[in-house]
Amino acid sequence: MDTRTGLPVVGMVGGGQLARMTHQAAIALGQSLRVLAVSPDDGAALVAADVRIGRHDDLAALREFAKGCDVVTFDHEHVPGDIIRALAAEGHTLLPGADALQYAQNKRAMREHLGSLGFPMPRWTAEDALAFADEVGWPVIVKTATGGYDGRGVFVAESPADIPEGVEVIAEELVPLRRELAAVVARSPLGQVAAYPVVETVQEAGICVEVLAPAPGLDEELAVRAQRLAIDIATRLGVVGVLAVELFETTDGRLLINELAMRPHNSAHWTIEGARTSQFEQHLRAVLDYPMGDTRLTAPAVVMVNVLGGEPGGMSIDERLHHLFAEEPGAKVHLYGKQVRPGRKIGHVTVLGDDMDDCRRRARRAARILEEGYEH
């Protein structure tokens, strides 16, 4: 406990935007969020008071970081499992634990384990990708087993020449896709679970660019099935904290598991303004074993659009904010304190309203002003 506040100290490994927004939620709860950042220029390190500098794969750094924390959690999945287990053996509480987190770290392990439990997934292989593609038909989706995110490590293989060599990969069939969905839940150590409305995620070049809450036109039975699927996964894997289950909705009405993330997730950033309890507060509640918060929407339609970095130069980000607020005063802006690089997520905007199409138009326009400058 923090002796100044009498409230728990949560440590978050990673200093990116997820830690930055978790810090925002921690302030309202009176908690002290300690951040392990690689650099003092990381997004969360720019705003948090208790920042330690160190790498996530350095046992000594994490051991020192964990001292005085009631619980340690993560803003990414890259902490090696043997380090998590070593710290747990020394008496530190790390959530989610290594036994659960391994299935968000390794796609092959995730596919094998979920398959053994009977969860629905695309047909896949980790063995002979060429023979598999000949069987199910080209093209196939090829993914590196570890390390991929935001479109990195994911390839559409049209021929054998497109399959990378020298890295462990899995190959998946190309499913008849209607759209992509995400079911986000949170689970506490005692097993209490809260589920958010199922959302539609829009991808471009493997990067999520837009999230629509709730997913437009989603059949109620299918939405409940998606939520139950996420709750079952969280329970069977023993996840503590936020779990995001990325799903394929196929043209023939099936739900297939695509990816898992055991941390706050891009598909639920909309919850900061769009839900009664944000995913960041919910994650803190979960790892501290507080009762879960209300997940209901605060408006009939919520749209979040990611802001991607463009080419350097031109109008400053401050000037763009002036124009954005003049043109779309209802848009809520979250900037991550990142250096701008083409295609990099530097923030997001959220718009709430009664009409989904109107919210999409306004949110897209707000994001475009931040990315490109004022539109005359």
The pLDDT of 3-11, averaged and rounded, is 93
pLDDT at 8 over 60: yes
Judged against a pLDDT cut of 60, whether residue 248 lies above it is answered with yes
Encode burial over 242-264: b for 16+ CB neighbours within 10 A, e otherwise: bbbbbbbbbeeebbbbbbbbbbb
Q: Per-residue confidence at 375, pLDDT binned at 50, 70, 90?
A: low
% of the chain residues with pLDDT over 70? 97
- 37-51, 148-162, 193-207: the lowest-pLDDT one: 148-162
168's CB contacts (< 8 A; 6+ apart) are 108, 126, 144, 145, 146
Predicted local distance difference test score (pLDDT) of residue 376: 46
In angstroms, the Cα distances linking 198 to 4, 219, 303, 363 are 39, 11, 13, 19
Q: How much is the average pLDDT of 145-161?
A: 82
Mean pLDDT calculated for residue range 15-27: 97
- In the predicted model, what is the mean pLDDT of residues 205-229? 95
Q: What are the residues whose beta carbons fall under 8 Å from the beta carbon of 366, sequence distance 6 or more?
A: 305, 324, 327, 328, 331, 333, 349, 351
Separation between Cα atoms, residue 334 and residue 18, nearest integer Å: 11
149: pLDDT strictly greater than 70: no
Question: Across the chain, what does the average pLDDT equal?
Answer: 94
| The pLDDT of residue 263 is above 90 | yes
The pLDDT confidence band at residue 150, using thresholds 50, 70 and 90, is low
pLDDT band at 151 (very low <50, low <70, confident <90, very high): low
Residue 112 counted as an annotated binding residue: no
**Is pLDDT at 1 greater than 90 in this prediction?**
no
Known binder of ligand: residue 143?
yes
Q: CA-CA distance, 343 to 333, in Å (whole number)?
A: 18
From 197, 195, 267, 260, select the one nearest 231 (Cα to Cα). 195
The annotation status of 106 as a binding-site residue, yes or no, is no
Query: What pLDDT was estimated at residue 341?
Result: 83
User: What Å distances lie between residue 7 and 104, 291, 294, 299, CA to CA?
Assistant: 30, 16, 22, 32
- Residue 152 has a pLDDT of 73
Q: What is the pLDDT of residue 374?
A: 67
Q: What is the mean pLDDT of residues 102-131?
A: 96
Which of 49-58, 126-135, 173-182 is predicted least confidently? 126-135
Least confident segment among 3-7, 292-296, 355-359: 3-7
Please compute the mean of the pLDDT values over residues 130-134 and round it to a whole number: 93
Buried b (16+ CB within 10 A) or exposed e, 186-197: bbbbeeebbbbb
CB neighbours (10 Å) of residue 331?
A: 22
Q: What is the pLDDT of residues 55-110, one digit of tens each?
A: 999 999 999 999 999 999 999 999 999 999 999 999 999 999 999 999 999 999 99
Q: Which residues are 243's β-sheet partners?
A: 185
259 marked as part of a ligand binding site: yes
Question: How confident is the model at residue 14, as a pLDDT?
Answer: 97
Q: Answer yes or no: is 210 a known binding residue.
A: no
What pLDDT is recorded for position 148? 67
Question: 132 pLDDT exceeds 80?
Answer: yes
More confident residue, 206 or 287: 287
**12-to-69, 84, 262, 356 alpha-carbon distances in Å:** 10, 13, 13, 34
258 marked ligand binding residue: yes
168 assigned ligand-binding residue: no
